[in-house]
Every structure is written in structure tokens, then in C-alpha cells.
Structure 1
Amino acid sequence: MRALIVYESIYGNTHVVADHVAEGLRAHFDVDVLPVDRATTDHVAAADLLVVGGPTHLHGMSSTRSRQAGRDAAHKPGEEIELDPDAEGEGLRDWFHSLPATAPRAAAAFDTRVDAAAVLTGRASRGISRRLTELGYRLAADPESFLVDKANHLLAGESDRAEVWAASLASYSPVRA
């Protein structure tokens, strides 16, 4: 079976989580990990399991404006934030508009967000999972958040937690038409 992990990442944290999700799935799936601007509808159609992740911006999925603000922040003098190599590409919101509805297949959603109560930060994974279900996917798990600190570093243990979460997705039996 094939799994496709599609991620959007500005500062690299969501990319790191996506790579660890891939590790957690490799025992059960052939896995491809692609930034959102390289994930075509053909890639998506070939996947038995689609896992989509993105950063939380302004309580949800990023927008064109919030992505640009993130890139601008990394370019400020004295800033030590590094951009992900694919930070200049399109975001998940635009990508979802390009996807057709599908026969029921398995999917899962994750996000990265600041380590604070979700009511304060929001969770991009909720919007991602909502879009996936609107397109006809069946969620293999509840949306999941992986946490970063206020300096934008992935918290200790989150990479391992991503692998464990991903391994749990393998127990879901996808339905193909």
C-alpha cells in the first residue's frame, strides 16, 4: 500500500514532523513525502493513505498573507529563523482547491502550533481534516498537533510522538472504490 504525506512548512518544523510521520508509516506502507507545491493530483490519486500537515497561523491554516508575513519575519535583520527550502511554494488552502472529490479513502491531518492551549492558538489540523472529509476522505485518526516553543523550535519528544501517531494510522483499513 502507498502513503503520501503532503506538508506545508515555513520554518521547517512541519517538514520535520512530516519526515517522522513517514518513518512511523514505513513498516506498513511505501511512503512518499512531498511539499504541497510538488504534490500533484496524480500523486494523491495513487495513495491509499493521504496524510496532510501544515503550520497553524492565526488560529487555522495559513493564508497567502500569513505565509508572506512568516517569510518576511525570517528576513528581518538579526532574526535567526531559517526558512524551509520549500517555504516559497503555495499553501494548503490553494492546494485543496485543486483536488477533486474522491471515492472514500483514508486520510489524516496534523499541524504544528505553539505550545499553548488550543483555544488560544487554534489548530490548522481541524481545517485540514474538514477539507479532507469534504473531498470524500475518511479520517483514520483525529487531527493531531505537534508543538513548538515560542522561539519556533519543535519541542523535545514531538518527533518521536509523530512516529507513534503515524504507526497508529496503519491499523486503519482504507476503503478503495
Structure 2
Amino acid sequence: MNDTTPVARAAIVYESMFGSTRRVAEAIADGLRPFVSVTVMKVKDAPEAFPDIDLLLIGAPTHVHSLSRPSTRVEAAKWGDDPERRLTLEPDAEGIGVREWLETCGGTPARFAAFDTRADMTEIFSGSAAAAIDKRLRRLGSHRLLAKHSFLVDKDSVLVAGQLDDAREWGRTIGETLRTTVAV
């Protein structure tokens, strides 16, 4: 086996309303791929358990200081219907969210990392979906590989410049960290 063959396995599960969280998940996967075999999936497609992976990454948009709820996803759909906002709702955005999915999870992998998209302001004012994900996964017995990470959006729910580069770099950091913690 050569040094460029990924040996660890990761899954990225994400929820996205207008595409920003999806794009971040894809960029994280790009950064991870040199180190890890990675699968990216919408939360609606995620299984209840991941018995064959070394790391689970979960990301979601921050709604009302935490994870989305059915009511906040309905509100997001209204934003998508407003032509002045110029937002396109992601397919299945109004379906199951990370909050509900985490309530149905069976066994979780030994390691996880959480990320979110949130408004470009101090976290004390915006809140963090990643903080809620982190808390729930630790309660389920999983261990945090790296501290949660937030990727910022502007008032129009568009990623702030440089956030996708930051996501790729975070993916590389995760890959390097995972490589040193997973026995080869």
C-alpha cells in the first residue's frame, strides 16, 4: 500500500436550506479526500447508524440559535418563495433535519466533528447549530475529534468570501488529525 491511499473512512451528513451548508460539506470532503475515503450525503439519505466508518462529520445551518426545527424549515421555504430574496430552496430542505435525525440515531462512530453555517456575527448573538450537534453526539457516546467549526453567511444567506477555502483547509486538518489517531 502506498502513502497516498486513504485508509480511514468518513461520512459527512448535512442539512442545507439554500445550498451554503451543502457547499461547505462538499469543500470539507475535498480537503479530506487525500487522507480519508469520504462519503457526503443529505440528512434525509443518512442511515441511522454508521458501523463501518472512523469519523462522522455533521453539519447544519443555524436557525434561531440552534438546529433547525420543522417550523424554521417552513419559514426558510417562505424565504425561498420570496422573489426579492433571490434564494433557491434546496431539494428536500423542508424534510427531516439534523435535529430529528440525531434523535433516531443508533450507534455512533467513536469520533465526530460538527460544523454549521451561521450569520456573520459573534456566536453569542447568532447561536450555533454545531454546538447543539456536538452536545447531542457526546451524549450519544461519540468523542469529538476537533472543536466545532462555523462557516459564515451574510444577511442574504450567501457564504462570506473565503469560507469554502476555509472549509477545504478544515477538511485537510481533520484528515491529518484522523490519520494520526486511526491505527494503520
TM-score by length of 2: 0.89
The number of equivalent residue pairs is 173
- Residues 23, 164 of structure 2: 8 Å contact kept: yes
Q: Is 1:16 equivalent to 2:6 in the alignment? A: no
Alignment of 1:75-94 (within 5 A): 75-94=81-100
After TM superposition, give the deviation of residue 53 of structure 1 in Å.
0.2
Alpha-carbon distance change, 151 to 79 in structure 1, aligned in 2, over 3 angstroms: closer
Greater Rg over alpha carbons, structure: 2
Instruction: Indicate which of 96, 113, 125 corresponds to 1:108.
Output: 113
TM-score by length of structure 1 reads 0.92
The ranges of structure 1 where at least 4 consecutive aligned residues each deviate by more than 2 angstroms after the TM superposition are 76-79
Name the structure 2 match of 1:131: 136
Query: 91, 98, 121: which is aligned to 2:104?
Result: 98
1:76 Cα deviation (Å)? 2.3
SS of match in other structure, 2:117:
strand
Match of 2:147 among 131, 139, 142: 142
- Amino acid corresponding to residue 118 of structure 2 in structure 1: R
Q: Distance in 2 between matches of 1:85 and 1:128?
A: 22
Cα offset, 1:47, TM superposition: 1.6
- Name the CA distance, whole Å, in 1 between partners of 2:73 and 2:102: 16
| Overall identity of the aligned pairs, in % | 39
8 Å contact kept, 2:51–2:107: no
In structure 2, the partner of 1:169 is 174
The whole-number CA distance in structure 1 between the counterparts of 2:67 and 2:182 is 26
Indicate the RMSD between aligned Cα atoms, in angstroms: 1.5
Residue of structure 1 equivalent to 2:74: 68
In structure 1, what is the Cα distance between the partners aligned to 2:10 and 2:107?
18
d(CA) in 1 for partners of 2:57 and 2:29?
9
Gaps of 5+ in 2: 1-7
The amino acid across from 2:115 in the alignment is: F
Following superposition, the deviation at residue 174 of structure 1 comes to: 4.8
Tell me how far apart the structure 1 counterparts of residues 20 and 170 of structure 2 sit (CA, whole Å).
16
Q: Is the 8 A contact 1:36 1:89 kept in 2?
A: no
Unaligned runs of 5+ in 1: none
| Equivalent position amino acid for 1:122 in 2 | G
Distance 1:79 1:124 in 2: 23
Q: What amino acid is the match of 2:23?
A: V
- Among candidates 54, 57, 62, match of residue 60 of structure 2: 54
Alpha carbons of 1:107 and 1:174: their partners in 2 closer, same or farther (altered >3 Å)?
farther
Give the CA deviation at 1:77.
Answer: 4.1
2:131 alignment partner, SS class? helix
